[in-house]
Amino acid sequence: MDFNELADRYVAVWNETDATARRAAIAGLWGPDGEHHVRTLHARGHDALQQRVTGSHEKNVRDAGFRFLRAGDAQFLNGTVMFHWHMVPAAGGPVAALGLDFLVLAADGRIATDYQFILPTPSA
């Protein structure tokens, strides 16, 4: 498995503008009972994940004009993958948000549990 490609697919789902393609991408990334944890919420299962990703997409990508990008290489260790990401203006500009995702993979290679950390953004 190419873990940078997995991280790129993960980041791409948050940027996906087509709802049908977004749902298919979610099903390809997370198992049926896959979980996503961030400080303020927990989503479990494809329907809840679809709602979580769509809400973030609408707020950050559609309405605010940002894009999510993988930052650096993904790292794999004993069934887990960790990578950083940036949220940047689609038209160019400084990083608006930084994050780290820690993924626990299921036996089929899909995400069983996703822990997302929003990191402090350095001052410009």
Q: What is the pTM of this model?
A: 0.94
Residue 50 CA to its chain's centroid (Å): 12
* pLDDT for res 120: 87
> Any idea where the domains of the chain sit in the sequence?
3-119
Backbone angles phi, psi at 81, to 5 degrees: -130, 135
* pLDDT for res 121: 84
**pLDDT above 60: residue 89:** yes
**pLDDT above 70: residue 28:** yes
* pLDDT for res 1: 82
Q: Which whole number is the average pLDDT over 73-102?
A: 97
* pLDDT for res 49: 99
Q: Residue 124 — pLDDT band, cuts 50, 70, 90?
A: low
Domain at 3-119: CATH code:
3.10.450.50
